[in-house]
Amino acid sequence: MILDANGKPIPSTIGRPGAEAFGELEPAVQRDVRITRSFSFKLNLGNYESADFFASQAADCAAADADTVSADLYEFCVDEVMKAVKDLKERRARKEAARLNRSAA
């Protein structure tokens, strides 16, 4: 709520049609926005088997910074998903190597 010099509330005129023509709009207010970005990846493991990976991240920021924050969040999600994909591939390779060692012995 905005008060005048005497401490009385000034009614909000945001969104009232025609108010800007009379100079009645409140001063511009810095608005915050919530940005949410996500990334998903499906890895085909063969033999009709697949693994799904997903990451989502959100942040509040000034509207002016939304593009930069959005790009940073997307990059973060991609990095996290691809780390998980790499980890799964390494675990499967170790498991396969152990299986081959057992069968060779």
pTM score of the predicted model: 0.67
State the amino acid at position 18 in one-letter form.
Answer: G
pLDDT value for 28: 56
Residue 9's pLDDT band, with cuts at 50, 70 and 90, is low
Show Cβ contacts of residue 3 under 8 Å, excluding neighbours closer than 6 positions: 9, 10
Q: What is the DSSP string of 5-18?
A: TTSPEEPP-TT-TT
State how far the Cα of 33 lies from the Cα of 81, in Å rounded to an integer: 25
- 58 neighbors 73 (Cβ within 8 angstroms): yes
Higher pLDDT, 73 or 13: 73
The domain locations on the chain are 1-30, 33-104
Mean pLDDT of the chain: 83
Backbone angles phi, psi at 48, to 5 degrees: 60, 30
% of the chain residues with pLDDT over 70: 70
